[in-house]
A and B are shown apart, each in its own frame.
Chain A
Amino acid sequence: QKEVEQDPGPLSVPEGAIVSLNCTYSNSAFQYFMWYRQYSRKGPELLMYTYSSGNKEDGRFTAQVDKSSKYISLFIRDSQPSDSATYLCAMSRGGSYIPTFGRGTSLIVHP
């Protein structure tokens, strides 16, 4: 079992839909949870960063962490074609530990 599991998709939704992207993990020591967005032919861009459990909202994006279930989510409200990208989750134990990344989920928002 991989430490971080993420469905690669693709996930195709109509413009305006609410998108839910998810990752599961097995290492209970993870404390820091991140979402990156990667457009085609670009490097990953940090989108959301959360410490421990709970929710964090930034505009149309909400990151949710459920440590009891070892499950994290990224919600995108009112999705736009410009949201079409690959979304990678990442998580870390903190300190000197390097984050572990998921495979990424390809999202396509069609007009």
Chain B
Amino acid sequence: SAVISQKPSRDICQRGTSLTIQCQVDSQVTMMFWYRQQPGQSLTLIATANQGSEATYESGFVIDKFPISRPNLTFSTLTVSNMSPEDSSIYLCSERTSDGGETQYFGPGTRLLVL
């Protein structure tokens, strides 16, 4: 599996501000995803980051709130915009194996606290 890193690992932000999370993979991958993990909850898929085109968002998530970029096959960013305390969560970047396997691998996560 590819090695995935995320920056920042954690942050504390004020409401109304925005934070951009970076995800770097050490090899080219076909599919990259962004998840949110709230305490006691399952992983919730925010969107699929498509290389060279607009991200595909899941129900309940919109581009204005969570703009995503994917300029190449190894890098993606997720921005959490106009933050409120409800956005406090762990945000995880994930990749799907390029060999068409069914498994996904995750980065270490970004822990966000919004005050």
Contact = CB atoms under 8 A, between A and B. Distances in A.
A52 B106 CA distance: 23
Interface string B3-47: 010000000000000000000000000000100000011110100
Contacts, number: 46
B82 interface: no
Contacts of B103: 32, 34, 46, 49
Nearest to A8: B40
Interface string B77-111: 00000000000000010000000001111111101
A53 B107 CA distance: 29
Interface residues of A, number: 24
A101 B35 CA distance: 11
Nearest to A102: B42
B72 interface: no
Most buried by B among A8, A42, A43, A51: A43
A45 B92 CA distance: 12
Interface in A52-70: none
Contact of A88 (B40, B42, B45): B42
Contacts of A103: 40-42
Given A44-B92, A46-B1, A99 B104 contact: yes
A49 B42 contact: no
A25 to B, nearest CB: 12
Interface of A: 4, 6, 8, 32, 34, 36, 41-46, 49, 51, 88, 90, 92, 94, 98-99, 101-104
